[in-house]
Amino acid sequence: MALHKLNPLYGSLPAADFGPLKLITLRESMIAPCKAQERRKVTDATGKVDVQTVEVTRPGWCRLFANRQTKRVAQMFKWGASRELISATIHQQLATVAGLRKGKTAARESVPVRAVRENDVDRVLPLLPPPVRAMVEIEALTGMRPGEARIMRACDIDTTVQPWLYKPQWHKTEHHGEDHNREIFIGPKAQEIIKAHFKPSLNAYLFTPADAREWEREQRRIRAGKNSRATGVYPCELRRRQAEAEKARKNPRKTAELYDKDAFARCVKRACRRAGLSVGWTPNALRHSAATRVRRLYGLDGSQVILGHKHAKITEVYAEQSREHAREIMAKIG
């Protein structure tokens, strides 16, 4: 994404001529609003659906994201210096560019991820396909990352101990070495959810888009009810099935063995809109909710070990301080 901004401005510029001022100009283009083409479906009074292309103005990147992408551009030159492709002084000059500071720039601030309320989760759950619903419930119970829920396999879960022990085949911090081993304990409530999704193959992913598609087909058959035909498939139905098969062939993500992070988030966001939530939530917010709940019951140390953080300072980002707990304390001693 950083290079998408870099190439139009300085793609043909020699690397030796790229300096701090050009990096600052690049960063300004990141936070500036931009115009884009967007396709929208419009339905008129007759019920006809028309697709129109409109020009919209989208906000620029937020301050923190622009800072991270600016650092990535500098890291690209650092890599070039390590391979002796360019002089090391170029990266040293780029490193002098300080990041944008809060309140000192026109860049917008990002909205922090907050814990999602339990009643908002309850409103969305009935609208989710069974695999996605199971991932949401397990993540809310255990505090695991969305990616760790997506890649669950039976071979990674030790069911001979209580509670079950889940060791993901990969995780976010594994590149830091053996000191960052990830172990997730799965209690009785989450165990009941997982049992319903075990596959004959131990290496198969538990939650797959194929299961969701089969559930959607079953729901269509149930809604058809008495209207289901005993005759053969009509040509129009056959053409629809062929079109769906061709669409799945052209879009590999539809036939993936597991959900990717974007598909998981999109499914939850769509369900939030159908549930009528004014402010939706993402799968990552469930980890914040679990961390906050554990901190309220067992303190910051308990939340830290559940989330698998090495330092409590990181846990404080996820586990919000309870206002209700502060109110109870001040009601007694204040």
Residue ranges of the domains in the chain? 2-94, 118-208+257-283
pLDDT number for residue 253: 47
Distances (CA, A) of 225 to 127, 228, 255, 290: 20, 6, 28, 40
Paired residues of 153 in beta bridges: 205
Q: How many Å apart are CA 143 and CA 147, to the nearest integer?
A: 12
Q: How many Å apart are CA 320 and CA 301, to the nearest integer?
A: 13
Q: How far apart are the first and last CA of the chain?
A: 51
Of 156, 113, 42, 60, the closest CA to residue 286 belongs to 113
The token pair that represents 16 in the structure block: 């030796």
Of 217, 203, 207, 195, the closest CA to residue 261 belongs to 207
Three-state DSSP class for residue 153: strand
Q: Following DSSP, what letter does each residue of 53-76 receive, concatenated? A: EEEEEE----HHHHHHHHHHHHHH
Q: How far is CA 146 from the centre of its chain?
A: 7
Q: Which CATH class is domain 118-208+257-283?
A: mainly alpha
| Residue partners of 313: CB distance under 8 A and separation at least 6 | none
Phi-psi region of 65 (alpha: psi -120 to 50; beta: other; left: phi over 0): alpha
Identify how many contiguous H helices and E strands the chain contains and give both numbers.
Answer: 14, 5
pLDDT number for residue 130: 94
Paired residues of 52 in beta bridges: 40
Q: How many Å apart are CA 58 and CA 34, to the nearest integer?
A: 5
pLDDT by residue for the chain (334 residues), tens digit each? 889 899 999 999 999 999 999 999 999 999 999 887 777 777 766 667 777 788 888 889 999 999 999 999 999 999 999 999 999 999 999 999 999 999 888 899 988 878 888 899 999 999 999 999 999 999 999 999 999 999 999 999 999 999 999 999 887 777 666 666 788 999 999 999 999 999 999 999 999 998 898 888 888 888 777 555 555 667 777 787 777 667 656 654 444 678 888 889 999 999 999 999 888 899 999 998 888 888 888 888 888 878 877 777 777 777 666 666 666 666 777 6
The token pair that represents 171 in the structure block: 């995780």
Q: Following DSSP, what letter does each residue of 115-143 receive, concatenated? A: PPPHHHHHHHGGGS-HHHHHHHHHHHHH-
pLDDT number for residue 141: 92
pLDDT number for residue 32: 92
Task: Tell me which amino acid residue 156 is.
Answer: D
The token pair that represents 268 in the structure block: 């939850």
Distances (CA, A) of 90 to 28, 128, 159, 328: 20, 51, 54, 57
pLDDT number for residue 232: 62
